[in-house]
Every structure is written in structure tokens, then in C-alpha cells.
Amino acid sequence: MRLGVLFSGGKDSCFALSKAKDDNEVACLISLYSSNSESFMFHVPNIEMTNMQAESLGIPLIRKETEGEKESELKDLEDVVLDAKEKYKIEGIVTGAVRSIYQATRIQKICKKLGLWCFNPIWLNDEVQLLKDMLDAKMEIVISGVFAYPLGRELLGKKLDLETIEKLEMMQKKHSINPAGEGGELETTVLDMPLFRKKIIIEKSSTNYDNYSGTFAIKQARLVDK
């Protein structure tokens, strides 16, 4: 089946992409660039990296700007999915949703309206095991945003590893955060994975953090041979 992937460049959409390619053809990537840092639907930190990631993957990228206002941003999503359907003849949409009923139900509604299959390959996966599976899959993941107590500045820009996963698991037990960030607690950016033809090297970055909320912004990066 020809599919389009809702693609943020974060760990979940990248892992969902790899799962979808096992038995399907991925015809395009679809990214929404939200001007609202508190968008209910869309990943924001380092979303511009999707251009470089798409180049590395060798998959066409369709992108659309959105103001990221609650509910009205769904019309922007519907428009860009329709564009993908018409341009690339896709038959379904892949999402990286894990636990977010808000996101999943709204995407499913759009797919139903447009006559598309909605494929959620990592839906209801155990969050801690999911993070470990991503490491086992040789994904290089950097934390690009934290937005909840007690997530500290030291996590920003840190590459996901087993030690960090263990810390997130402890925070889940003690503070009820979602270790995969499905409650908006954290965001990530993928720098490398087996599907990438080249890996991303960060050359310049900046960190902004205050009161358990902050971002790691990639200012300059380049693709290098693996």
C-alpha cells in the first residue's frame, strides 16, 4: 500500500516510518510547521530539520505552515493530507501516536473523510520498552524539548541512552510523567537511523530553559556520510 507519513522528525514518527516500510511503500512525508509553540497537535522544536531528514531518507516531503490554533489547525492538516493524496496517490496515513487519544481520533476522522487508511504501528506500545526498542533499532535521538516537572536542563541536547531511559522510568513511577512524552512532557529530534543515507551532525545549537520548560534548538547542521 502507498502511504504518507505524518512526519515531525521526532523519535515516534521516525520509528513509525521504519515500521510502515516493512510491508508498504512510503510515497511521501507530511510535516506541519506550527507557529504556536503550544500546539495541541504538532511537534514544534526543530521541526525545520525535517527538510534535512527527508533528504537523507530520499523521500519527498510535503510541508505546510499552520498557526497551530486548537481545532482550526486540523483543517490545515486535512488540506495537506489531501494534497499528498492527490500528488502522490497515497492510500493511507501513518502516525507515530502512542497514547494520545486527542491526536489519534482527530487524525482518524480526517482519514475517514478522505477515504484513507489510518495506520498507527506503535499505538499502545509500552512506553519504556518502546524507547529501548528505538535504541535497539540503532536510532540516534536527541532530546529537543522538556515541558514538565521534574525534567531538568541537563536533558536538553542529550542523546537518548539506557541511563536516560531509566531516569525517565523512575520519573514515571514517582511523578507520573509519560516517559515517551505522549503527554507533551518532552520532544525529540532524530539524527540518524538505518533508513538514513547520511547522518546529521549538529554544528551550532542553543538552549533555553526556565522553570522546568525549555528547548534545544539546532541552529546549524549538516549531513555526512556514514
Same domain as 158, residue 66: no
Domain ends where: 64, 90, 119?
Answer: 119
Domain ends where: 89, 119, 149?
Answer: 119
pLDDT of residue 39: 56
* Residue 64, strand partner residues: 32
CATH number, residue 147: 3.90.1490.10
Range of the domain at 37: 2-119
CATH number, residue 78: 3.40.50.620
Same domain as 93, residue 59: yes
Same domain as 194, residue 112: no
- Rounded Cα distance between 215 and 213, Å, is 7
Residue 72 CA, chain-centre distance (Å), reads: 21
Tell me how many domains the chain contains. 2
- Rounded Cα distance between 3 and 27, Å, is 6
Same domain as 108, residue 160: no
Tell me whether residue 166 is in a domain.
yes
Tell me whether residue 130 is in a domain.
no
Tell me whether residue 97 is in a domain.
yes
Among the residue ranges 40-54, 110-124, 148-162, the one predicted with the least confidence is 40-54
Assess whether pLDDT exceeds 90 at residue 12: yes
Same domain as 87, residue 183: no
Nearest to 185 by CA among 166, 165, 168, 161: 168
Among the residue ranges 38-52, 94-108, 166-180, 197-211, the one predicted with the least confidence is 38-52
Say what the alpha-carbon torsion angle 69, 72, 77, 80 is, to the nearest 10 degrees. Answer: -110
CA atoms within 13 A on the CB side of 190: 31
Same domain as 102, residue 14: yes
Tell me whether residue 24 is in a domain.
yes
Confidence of residue 38 (pLDDT cuts 50, 70, 90): low
Domain ends where: 119, 147, 171?
Answer: 119
Confidence of residue 96 (pLDDT cuts 50, 70, 90): very high
Its pTM stands at: 0.94
